[in-house]
Amino acid sequence: MAALAMAAGAVISCLASFAQAQERAAKAPLISRPSPPPPAAPQSLLFVQDLFDVTGAGALDLGELDTVLAPFRRDFDDGLERLPLELTVDAAGKVIGCAVHGPPRLALAGQALCAHALANGRFAPNPVLVLDYTAATYRLTVRRSSDRARAGAPEFHASTGFPYQGLAVRFGLIDLPPVEEGISLSDVQLAGLEYPTAALREGPEGRVEVLITFNQAGRVETCRPIRSDNTARLAYETCYEVRRVARLSNPPDSRPFAFATRWVLAE
C-alpha cells in the first residue's frame, strides 16, 4: 500500500526507533568499543547547463522502431535481451548524441537505433515544467515484445526508469523563497494528492521541493523543480501530481507557491 507521509510522520518514526535502541542498550553489558567513523555525506548532483537529465520530463519521439530493429529481432532473444540507450538532447529538443549500453550481441542493433535517433529523434519537455539546460541526457530501454497475441501491436517498444536513484539532485542554484513572500498552504487546495503512479513501479522515496505558479483561473501554470533527495524524475512526477490536484482558493495571485513534501512507501 502506498501512502504520502508528511515530515512529521517521518520524525515520529525516527524517535520510536531511537527509543527502542536506548532500551536495548540499557540492558546490554558495558563493552568498550572504538567510536565508529562519521557517516559519509550523501552524494548529490547539481543540474546546470549540460549536466542535466530529463528522463520523464517530457515526451521523446523516436518514431516507429519496428522497421529499424526488425533485422535484429533474433539478437533480442525473443524479448529476453534489453537495449539501454543514453541520448543527449539540446535545448531545442534535437537528439545530438547517443550511447549504447547493451550486450555485445545487440551492438549492431544499437548502432542502427542510434543512427535513427540522431536523424529523427525529438524531445518535447512537458509545458508545465520550468527547466534550464543547454543539453541533457534522456535514458530509455528498448525491448522486443514476446507477446505475439496482440495483432497490430508494435514489436519493439521503449520504456523509461528513474535515473540517478540514490542521488540527491539540486536544480541550479535557486532556493525556495521565504514563506512570507509566497502563497501559503492554507490558500491552496491539495485534496486527492497521491503517490505518483509512475514512481510506484520503481519505488523511489525522498523529499522534493518545487516552486509553483498559478494562472488566472487558479490552476497550476508552471512548476519549477528545486531539489529532490532521490532521482530528478521524482521531482518531475511531483510536479505532475501537484498540477493534477492543486487549485488556488482565491485567484488570481501572481505570487509563487513553495511546495515541499516527502514521498514514502508504506507497507
Task: Tell me which of 40-54, 123-137, 153-167, 199-213 is least confident.
Answer: 40-54
Q: How many CB atoms lie within 10 A of CB 101?
A: 13
pLDDT in tens, 77-132: 878 899 999 999 999 999 999 999 999 999 999 999 999 999 999 999 999 999 99
Q: Domain 169-264: which topology? A: 3.30.1150
Candidate from 26-35, 106-115, 204-213, 217-226 with smallest mean pLDDT:
26-35
Q: For residue 79, what is its C-alpha cell?
A: 524479448
Cα distances from 212 to residues 9, 27, 59, 99, in angstroms, run 24, 51, 21, 34
Exposure of 193 by Cβ count < 10 A (0-12 exposed, 13-18 middle, 19+ buried)? middle
Q: Model confidence over 235-245: pLDDT tens digits? A: 999 999 999 99
Quick one: what percent of the chain has pLDDT higher than 90? 72
The answer to whether residues 183 and 248 touch, using CB atoms and an 8 Å cutoff, is yes
**Share above pLDDT 70 across residues of the chain, in percent, rounded to a whole number:** 82
Identity (one letter) of the amino acid at 239?
C
CA 100 vs. chain centroid, Å, equals 21
Structural domain spans, the chain = 58-160, 169-264
